[in-house]
């Protein structure tokens, strides 16, 4: 007999957007309807199917560029020869740009270069090996497919590499959705927000960030299951793929200090350092110059186009020196982290782990000099777990996804202007000015700040927290879930004998 989860939270009963969206399929879940009777289509399997649908649209969105032929079909006029010719730009016009395709050759993967030994890869070690693994699988498939050409399809090496990478990233996305469903507790359907996130359509296959997001989210799930060692390993591996998973540890430290659970945190931190070292130390020792490339590139680069610092440069009409920019961004991020720590320690009720995680990662993105478009994927699971409200989530996601349009058409305008000046071309197709792109950046930043403000309000006013209004404490908290040191202390003072007897009975058991 199947167990009926009578306490499961139903989105159509709790969220006005979900309630309105259910109208075409019959309206909200009925008062006397029963959940938990379907053995095949469980919530997690439905969520994974939703994610596959979203990722399919993401693949279609990038499809025009996957052949690596990025020439525009629209002609431009060469003012010297008075003839029409084509130039690169399809990746901008069709909005299908992906780092995966140009970096196949850019990182030496097209001629089997070993990362960090033969070529200085610009990404952290685990991401470099992720790329190399996809290239090796692609080469193996092409070799086999050519021998069985009547059965298996094959194309150019770069296209095969792209498709293999997409399949690997799809697995990462499914892990992210599965982990979010586990972290949501009784609100399992909150993970539908992750599965249907518009940003997945636009940026799931723009870069390799979903690999780190999957590891970081799985690490949070392991912590929620009170497996601190496994959580440390997964977060450490995530940090070896991208920097951001290490930011999950700061909020965890604050909450463990408050809940007097430093032993569990120390165990997690030990395995984070161990996992990161196992991946990085051999490469750092054997191929030091290649390993250092990621750090030197980040130290030397200026303000990224998608950052508030680029907006400031545009307004001031001059660039910010890199040294000054590095100092200011670090100081602002440290100050933001200090403020978040004070909030976590002083709030009347202990905040939930995802709440503080969102605030820290958002603070890093807002203050950092680099905000590549795919970095916003880092925030998706944290946003849903911190504040699972469809209304604000969709508004923010719409701004993130729509930012890709002005970014691409501004880059298109820039590239065509470069062609015009260097190659005597008269551009017949125009993009947009930078100011429209920067306006979209500001709008996106405002919505991220607004999301953070709502989370801070939920921390200061726990009765507004949608998770705690559902009768839960911190489903992602693991050993922190349900722990209130102040209440425990009052209980010890009120019933010291009973507490002593309980401790003795636990020792005997």
Q: What is the pTM of this model?
A: 0.88
Percent helix / strand / coil, the chain, rounded to 5: 70, 0, 30
Instruction: Please state, in angstroms and rounded to a whole number, the distance separating the CA atoms of residues 8 and 189.
Output: 9
The reported pLDDT for the residue numbered 152 is 84
Q: Binning pLDDT at 50, 70 and 90, where does residue 74 land?
A: low
Question: To 10 degrees, the CA torsion angle through 404, 407, 411, 412?
Answer: 60
Length of the chain: 509
Beta strand residue intervals within 333-490, DSSP E: 425-426
pLDDT digits (tens, 9 = 90+) for 268-318: 999 999 999 999 999 999 999 999 999 998 889 999 999 999 999 999 999
Under DSSP, is residue 88 helix (H, G, I), strand (E, B) or coil? strand
pLDDT tens readout for residues 335-384? 999 999 999 999 999 999 999 999 999 999 999 999 999 999 999 999 99
Q: Are 64 and 98 in contact (CB under 8 A)?
A: no
pLDDT tens digits along 181-237: 999 999 999 999 999 999 999 999 999 999 999 999 999 999 999 999 999 999 999
Among the listed residues 57, 5, 61, 10, the one whose alpha carbon sits nearest the alpha carbon of residue 31: 10
Residues 6+ away with beta carbon under 8 Å from 498: none
DSSP code of residue 157: H
For 78, phi then psi, to 5°, come to -85, 115
- What residue ranges do the domains of the chain occupy? 1-39, 40-508
């Amino acid at each position: 007999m199947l167990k009926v989860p009578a306490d499961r939270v139903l989105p159509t009963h709790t969220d006005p957007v979900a309630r309105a969206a259910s109208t075409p399929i019959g309206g909200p879940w009925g008062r006397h309807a029963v959940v938990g009777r379907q053995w095949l289509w469980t919530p997690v399997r439905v969520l994974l199917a939703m994610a596959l649908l979203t990722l399919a649209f993401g693949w279609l969105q990038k499809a025009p560029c996957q052949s690596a032929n990025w020439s525009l079909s629209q002609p431009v006029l060469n003012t010297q020869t008075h003839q029409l010719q084509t130039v690169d730009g399809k990746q901008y016009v069709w909005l299908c740009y992906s780092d995966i395709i140009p970096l196949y050759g850019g990182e030496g993967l097209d001629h089997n270069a070993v990362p960090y030994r033969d070529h200085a890869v610009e990404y952290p070690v685990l991401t470099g090996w992720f790329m190399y693994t996809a290239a090796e699988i692609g080469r193996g498939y092409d070799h086999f497919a050519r021998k069985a050409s009547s059965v298996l399809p094959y194309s150019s090496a770069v296209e095969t590499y792209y498709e293999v990478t997409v399949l690997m990233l799809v697995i990462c996305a499914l892990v992210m959705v599965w982990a979010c469903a586990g972290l949501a507790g009784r609100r399992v359907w909150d993970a539908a927000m992750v599965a249907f996130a518009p940003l997945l359509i636009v940026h799931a296959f723009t870069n390799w960030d979903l690999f780190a997001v999957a590891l970081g989210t799985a690490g949070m799930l392991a912590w929620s299951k009170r497996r601190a060692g496994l959580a440390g390993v997964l977060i450490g591996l995530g940090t070896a793929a991208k920097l951001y998973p290490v930011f999950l540890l700061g909020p965890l430290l604050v909450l463990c200090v408050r809940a007097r659970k430093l032993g569990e945190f120390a165990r997690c931190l030990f395995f984070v350092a161990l996992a990161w070292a196992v991946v990085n130390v051999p490469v750092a020792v054997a191929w030091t110059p290649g390993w250092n490339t990621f750090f030197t590139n980040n130290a030397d680069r200026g303000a990224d186009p998608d950052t508030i610092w680029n907006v400031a440069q545009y307004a001031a009409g001059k660039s910010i020196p890199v040294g000054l920019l590095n100092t200011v961004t670090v100081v602002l991020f440290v100050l933001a982290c200090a403020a978040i720590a004070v909030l976590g320690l002083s709030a009347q009720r202990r905040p939930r782990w995802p709440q503080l995680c969102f605030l820290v990662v958002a603070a890093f993105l807002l203050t950092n000099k680099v905000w590549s478009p795919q970095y916003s994927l880092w925030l998706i699971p944290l946003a849903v777990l911190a504040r699972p409200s469809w209304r604000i989530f969709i508004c923010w996601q719409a701004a993130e996804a729509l930012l890709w349009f002005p970014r691409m058409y501004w880059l298109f305008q820039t590239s065509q202007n470069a062609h015009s000046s260097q190659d005597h071309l008269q551009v017949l197709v125009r993009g947009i000015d930078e100011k429209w792109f920067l306006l979209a950046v500001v709008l996106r930043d405002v919505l991220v700040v607004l999301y953070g403000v709502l989370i801070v309000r939920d921390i200061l006013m726990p009765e507004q927290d949608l998770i705690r209004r559902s009768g839960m404490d911190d489903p992602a908290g693991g050993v922190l879930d349900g722990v209130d040191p102040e209440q425990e202390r009052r209980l010890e003072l009120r019933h010291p004998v009973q507490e002593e007897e309980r401790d003795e009975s636990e020792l005997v058991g």
